[in-house]
Structure 1
């Protein structure tokens, strides 16, 4: 026992060295071309941040619905919103997404939340996330230097931001949702066939936000033949953009909940697999396991927190 106790400082020193070396191998990407400029005025940013901070885990609305962008959390101009998931140029090469976490923006616990969300994609889909490398031309950078939870839709050339407001947005389901945007998905209730499944209660929508409930053209956005998904993590909550706390979306099927934020639904996974199956199949067999760089980063953070 005495010998073991004497070894503890040495073990800790070696562990620290390994983590430090791992940090040195994390290359910092250039400033992302998309999402580096704050999308809100100072007053608007403060208002959005406060509303999101006040939400608890049981809130009836999702934090991404309050983020002040197109449909709440999509970083694009409304007039360009028809660049849907059928656009092949927005797909990530070989189904692999390089990423970088701006560590100064997040606590260790928050960084682990992000990594656990990535791990869900690794466990349930063919999508792989690996740490950014110097020769990458497209990547995702996780930041928390702006208000709200938001992302671009699909791969954008020159780097893109997934913003997760430190207080309110760094939650497992929120990270899953924003990453699904980054991979190439819009919101479920905007599907071209949505009127067969939900009723939009226009009279309860906050004036000026009606466009958030527009439908997409079937030639731009597809469900890959998979039935409408009330349980999608990409579905608005029932009271999204409500002016009077009354529902703005009503399910035409009984006993369903809209707007869950626990994780990927079975239909989310199925659609994602359909979207990327050809690209994932282009990877070398060795690339289908969890990327070593991610595993190293996850294990080092899990060791710190655990």
Structure 2
């Protein structure tokens, strides 16, 4: 494994507090031993995880193909965007951060909140960045698109080829990684092989803005368990957690579909089995962890952390999960399928539609995207379902489908939003030729949000009030 010092030398980084290889490895081993001791030795957790893994395996047998073709686990050879050389797979730590984490393994936080705040965030001026001379030109549009994404949804601003000592250099390194928060000097974001998706780049930029991974939150034990017995050797430190006393979650709920959440089998010995297991009551989100693009709540976290909402002189409440548009304070930004100044309206333009669902099952079909589509953002289609009787819930089953199929929904799929808050990402289904078990709403509303950026995806659903 390369040392941070060697990496600094090879990449020309201005990191003055890097550690020699032997010291870095020693600290990682120390942290790994601490995490291993707390996880592996927990026999109650082992029993719970084993039971849940058995349930997951049993549920796989209930998934049926609608066209007679076999169900293939096309994730078998995927290794994920994370590297073994870095903390949590894609975080390049400073000497101070590493020493702090090893001496207090629960000192991280969802959004970096240290005695240095607000000096550890990028405030007061655009974030200066530039591309390393060896950075591939074909990746530059994706980086600029990810930057534009954050600028269009937050008050954070960037300046290409800007001046100043504190700046970001995009490099073509060994994988995808970044530093946490503003370090004060030049720091890097690596967009290596397989990293040039807008969502992956946006993920690394969010690290640079000061945000750690979702599944490292101190409250993750309420939502997931770690299958430590399927984690790669010496990689358990990647599943460290936070202490509440060092944490500021800013009221952001735990979201399985956050772009900052690990996928369910990251760092797995056997990728056909999960390393992250959803707790009781959350099993339906087992296969909906991680995301291609930042979610509404990923965006809200940055806007809150950077006090973007403070710039709006008149505050107002948005409806249907919307949030005040920090780039146009006179209106709200709305979740897919909602519109109006305050997100008060259900959009029925394009393929967006509204259905009142009774007790008799009805068939609903929709398509997002088109043949030949290849885009960095999604084409979307929102289907709004309400029961005919207020207060009743909804049951939806995917019956047939066609088009783009991707194991991780990064190309296309449907996000079944079952929460009372329609801004929360829901249950994602990625294979349109597959019949899944019925999905139930939490309240008397459900949004079926079809999305595609590669070709098209079509789904037919059976829906009824229960």
- 1:34 is matched with 15
- Are the counterparts in 2 of residues 201 and 250 from structure 1 also a CA contact under 8 Å? yes
Runs of 5+ unmatched residues, structure 2: 1-11, 23-73, 102-106, 313-326, 329-466
Deviations 1:206-243 (A, max 9, x none): 22111111111122232111110111111011111111
- Are the counterparts in 2 of residues 71 and 212 from structure 1 also a CA contact under 8 Å? yes
Provide the rounded CA distance (Å) in 1 between the counterparts of 2:288 and 2:305: 23
The SS at the match of 1:137 is coil
Normalised by the length of structure 2, the TM-score is: 0.46
Change (3 A) 1:195 1:35: farther
- 1:79 is matched with 99
Provide the rounded CA distance (Å) in 2 between the counterparts of 1:115 and 1:36: 29
Equivalences for residues 74-223 of structure 1 within 5 A: 74-76=91-93, 78-81=98-101, 82=107, 84=109, 85-87=112-114, 88=117, 89-94=119-124, 96-107=126-137, 109-134=138-163, 136-144=164-172, 146-165=173-192, 167-223=193-249
User: Does 1:255 find its partner at 2:284?
Assistant: yes
Change (3 A) 1:79 1:62: farther
Equivalences for residues 33-52 of structure 1 within 5 A: 33-34=14-15
- Are the counterparts in 1 of residues 108 and 242 from structure 2 also a CA contact under 8 Å? no
Runs of 5+ unmatched residues, structure 1: 1-30, 42-57, 283-287, 290-306
Normalised by the length of structure 1, the TM-score is: 0.68
Provide the rounded CA distance (Å) in 2 between the counterparts of 1:62 and 1:268: 24
- Are the counterparts in 2 of residues 176 and 263 from structure 1 also a CA contact under 8 Å? yes
Q: From the CA coordinates, give the structure whose radius of gyration is larger.
A: 2
Count of equivalent residues: 235
Deviation at 1:110, TM superposition (A): 1.0
Deviation at 1:69, TM superposition (A): 0.5
Provide the rounded CA distance (Å) in 2 between the counterparts of 1:200 and 1:186: 17
Provide the rounded CA distance (Å) in 1 between the counterparts of 2:124 and 2:203: 21
Deviation at 1:40, TM superposition (A): 8.7
- 1:12 is matched with none
- Are the counterparts in 2 of residues 34 and 158 from structure 1 also a CA contact under 8 Å? yes
Q: When you count strand as a share of all residues, which structure comes out higher?
A: 2
Deviation at 1:184, TM superposition (A): 0.2
Provide the rounded CA distance (Å) in 2 between the counterparts of 1:204 and 1:273: 36
- 1:277 is matched with 307
- 1:23 is matched with none
Provide the rounded CA distance (Å) in 2 between the counterparts of 1:163 and 1:281: 32
Change (3 A) 1:260 1:39: farther
Provide the rounded CA distance (Å) in 2 between the counterparts of 1:105 and 1:172: 16
Provide the rounded CA distance (Å) in 2 between the counterparts of 1:209 and 1:178: 20
